[in-house]
Structure 1
Amino acid sequence: MEPVEINAGAYYLRQLRADRHLDDRPALMEAFADPEHRRYVLNYRLRTPDEATEYVTLRTAQWACAERCSWAVAEPTTGRLLGEVGLRDLDLTFGTAEASVWTHPAERGNGIAVTALSAAIRFGFGGLGLREITYRHLASNTASAIVAQRCGFTRIDVAEQPSPAGEPLVRWVRKPG
């Protein structure tokens, strides 16, 4: 699948980049160095430019094999990275995916996550024909709960099995409409 850019109003969603025109790696390393970010995003460590390059390359490969749609949330006039939003674990046969979003520490509290995730959800239902999008977060991540509510998700439950962080996961679901 080819990456798609999305006009999200105050922001635009584009593929992560690390080229001579636009380089998201410094902002990625800043975000992933933040203690709060590391607390909630457990699967990745981006401490060096090489690790950030691998991350950008991974996201490109995931688009290509229709495994994950991942967008840099960007400031429209400069292209500056403000966060990332995605639809992962794509199953186009069954019409399902799981949403994810994070915001750069310097940009938290500005409504970026809600705007970006809402745009990604619209693309998932309208552009990909998804029938269900789930969302999950650690129970202590109250900001993620607010994002889920504002994006129209319905809380399903709290997982009985703790997450790799040793904390319960809250699960949400959203259908088209």
Structure 2
Amino acid sequence: MEPVEINAGAWYLRALRADALMDDRPALADLGETDPGHVGRADADWLADARYTWAVCEPTTGELLAEIALRPDTAEISARARPGHDDAADAATAAVRRFAAALLEP
């Protein structure tokens, strides 16, 4: 599956990025994710339908506030937020839960 953007009220969810226009790696480092291959693996996981990962972003700047992931085989959702942004992660979790219910519905 290609990455899907999701509107989560005050935040939006998009695929992780590390390119000339947007680089999520510094914000991911705030989450403890220092592996430079993390964004590339997230892209590959989307295409393989192994794991769907989103950057939970502030809509005016696109800044990553949290990261959320869904394993489509188990419907397991995981989230981690930068300090002070648990509300963004909570809203994103609810939005991804709705996405998963629609996606995984028989």
Confirm or deny a common fold (TM above 0.5): yes
Question: Using the alignment, how far apart are the partners of 2:100 and 2:55 within structure 1?
Answer: 16
Correspondence for 2:85 among 87, 96, 108: 108
Is there any run of 5+ residues in structure 1 with no aligned partner, and where?
33-44, 132-177
Question: Using the alignment, how far apart are the partners of 2:97 and 2:61 within structure 1?
Answer: 24
Structure 1 contact 72–83 (Cα < 8 Å) conserved: yes
Question: Using the alignment, how far apart are the partners of 1:83 and 1:108 within structure 2?
Answer: 7
Q: Secondary structure at the match of 1:29?
A: helix
> In structure 2, what is the equivalent of residue 121 of structure 1?
97
- Deviation for aligned residue 1:114: 1.4
Amino acid paired to 2:50: E
Question: Using the alignment, how far apart are the partners of 1:31 and 1:86 within structure 2?
Answer: 14
Q: Does 1:62 align with 2:45?
A: yes
With structure 2 as the length reference, what TM-score do the two structures score?
Answer: 0.92
Structure 1 contact 97–130 (Cα < 8 Å) conserved: no
> What is the aligned residue count?
106
Amino acid paired to 2:85: R
- Deviation for aligned residue 1:30: 2.1
Structure 1 contact 85–116 (Cα < 8 Å) conserved: yes
Structure 2 contact 12–59 (Cα < 8 Å) conserved: yes
Structure 2 contact 31–80 (Cα < 8 Å) conserved: no
> In structure 2, what is the equivalent of residue 82 of structure 1?
65
Q: Which has the larger radius of gyration?
A: 1
Instruction: Kindly report the root-mean-square deviation, in angstroms, between the aligned alpha carbons of the 2 structures.
Output: 1.4
Q: Does 1:20 align with 2:20?
A: yes
> In structure 2, what is the equivalent of residue 134 of structure 1?
none
Amino acid paired to 1:118: A
Return structure 1 stretches of 4+ with deviation > 3 angstroms: none
Quick one: higher RCO (CA 8 Å, sep 6+), 1 or 2?
2
With structure 1 as the length reference, what TM-score do the two structures score?
Answer: 0.57
- Deviation for aligned residue 1:130: 4.1
Question: Using the alignment, how far apart are the partners of 1:79 and 1:108 within structure 2?
Answer: 14
Q: Secondary structure at the match of 1:76?
A: coil
Identity value in percent:
49
